Amino acid sequence: MVASLLFIAWRVSQYDIHFDFSISLILSLISLGLLYGAVIIFSSFVFSWLLGVLTKEKIDRKRVIPIFCGANLYKYLPGNFMHFVGRNRIAAETDGVSHGKVAAATIIDSASLCVAAVVIAAISVLDYFVAHLRQFEISPFIFIGAGVIILLIALSGFFFRSRFALIVGKIKIALKGLTPKIAAKMFVAACIRLLILASAYLLILILFGQEMTLAIVPQVIGLFALAWVIGFIMPGAPGGLGVREAIMITFLGDTLSQDIVLSATIIHRVVCIFGDLSAYAAALIYSKKRGKLNNEKEN
């Protein structure tokens, strides 16, 4: 997170960006940070519910929610995968929950976000996205690189097929409790999460002076949903740092004011960091209060 803030400071100095912050703007950004934190808390409750469905056990939320929100901070570590691995601490500290079930819940949660992002983007900006991509000249080396990656994946699948079969078998067992109804609920929850986050980014653009029309709003929401998920799952980029920003600036720079998009995108990253911290703090407070209430009931 410190590295993310240093990166933002470096970019601000490099582009010679000057922010004119008023009290009302600062309070608005803090409110949006708290909203982002509320989405993380909501996500932790959804994850707890999903674990309960998969394990058919009563999940101790006062343990699961702080672990989930704490693991969410691990995305800022290099590699951008430790926030997934960190959730498996739930299995180590919760009775009746296996590592396989936590991994399965993580897969379902991530897949739901990806599907929801694609659906939102397809509904909102498919024509614009395709038209914009046609403007780029695609180097033949990209196709060569893609071919090499596909070949390596195929070779790995062949030489390690027995190990992959074992992993796939374990995943199938872990996903045994997943039904179409549960998948639909996860999809709806993912859509809610992405739409709220996209709306927060839209509000930041407006706060920085960007004029909005009914034609621009779905474009911003669709591109943001896609950029957020790509940054969330992209290996190597801590917290999607640089990935989301690059997508938003590239695809919105022609439609909106480049200065406003750049400023809003940079500040949005700061808002996200504040939201991640506020979610973790709220989760710890929730856990302590829930623990006290349980102790009082037992006494």
* Closest listed residue to residue 228, CA positions, set 8, 70, 12, 39: 39
* Tens digits of residue pLDDT in 32-80: 999 999 999 999 999 999 999 888 888 888 899 999 999 998 887 766 6
The region of weakest confidence among 185-199, 256-270, 273-287 is: 256-270
Please tell me the predicted confidence (pLDDT) of residue 194: 92
Please tell me the predicted confidence (pLDDT) of residue 249: 75
Please tell me the predicted confidence (pLDDT) of residue 251: 73
Please tell me the pTM assigned to this model. Answer: 0.79
By the 8 A CB rule, do 100 and 174 touch? yes
Inform me whether the pLDDT recorded for 134 exceeds 70.
Answer: no
Q: Find the mean pLDDT for residues 188-214.
A: 90
By the 8 A CB rule, do 156 and 86 touch? no
Inform me whether the pLDDT recorded for 213 exceeds 90.
Answer: no
Please tell me the predicted confidence (pLDDT) of residue 220: 87
Inform me whether the pLDDT recorded for 140 exceeds 70.
Answer: no
Please tell me the predicted confidence (pLDDT) of residue 4: 65
Sequence ranges of the domains in the chain: 2-138+181-294
